[in-house]
Amino acid sequence: MRIFARLVLSLAAAALLAPAAPAVAKTAPAARASVHPQSGLAVIPLRVKGHHFRVEVARTGAEQQKGLMFRTAMGKDEGMLFPESSPRQVAFWMRNTILPLDIVFIGADRRILNIVNAIPYDETPLPSAGPAIAVLELNAGRTRALGIKVGDKVEW
């Protein structure tokens, strides 16, 4: 009799929980972060001047050191974001970077400090115009084509 009672209670509990299962299944895919197929980095939405990008996020020192090195192609609305833990003066270079890039330095107010056009393989340090909380790399010429300039707000 005890086993029968447990079975009935188990079935009742399962019946009560069953309606919740589809809701979990529907929301689970949206909760998953997008991942770039080549780098394995998280991909997030980013907006500048009303234009939407999908950018990889290089969070760790190793990810930031590699950046877009050896990459041979990037979509026109793709890029890479290098967040800093606190505002600081930063400089980037193009060692082993095949793609020409616009390097966008972003200040603590999330406004663009300066934009530098970077040439492939050039190891000349390209500095921020002040303490930066992030750096955004886009395909070369993209900022000019979209009218993105110093002072514009960057949202992610």
Q: Which amino acid is at 111?
A: R
Q: What is the pLDDT of residues 119-132, one digit of tens each?
A: 999 999 999 999 99
Tokens (6 digits) for 14: 């399962």
Instruction: Give the range among 23-27, 68-72, 102-106, 140-144 with minimum mean pLDDT.
Output: 23-27
Tokens (6 digits) for 10: 């188990």
Q: Looking at 49-122, which runs of residues are DSSP E strands? A: 51-57, 78-88, 91-92, 101-106, 112-118
Q: What is the pLDDT of residues 134-151, one digit of tens each?
A: 999 999 999 999 999 999
Calpha distance 129→150 (Å, rounded)? 10
User: Is 59:83 a contact under the CB 8 Å cutoff?
Assistant: yes
Tokens 């974001």 identify what position? Answer: 81
pTM of this prediction?
A: 0.79
Tokens (6 digits) for 42: 């998280």
Q: Does the pLDDT value for residue 20 go beyond 60?
A: no
pLDDT confidence of residue 32: 53
Which of 62, 44, 69 has its CA nearest to residue 155?
Answer: 44
Tokens 């929301």 identify what position? Answer: 27
What's the gap between Cα 138 and its chain centre?
A: 12
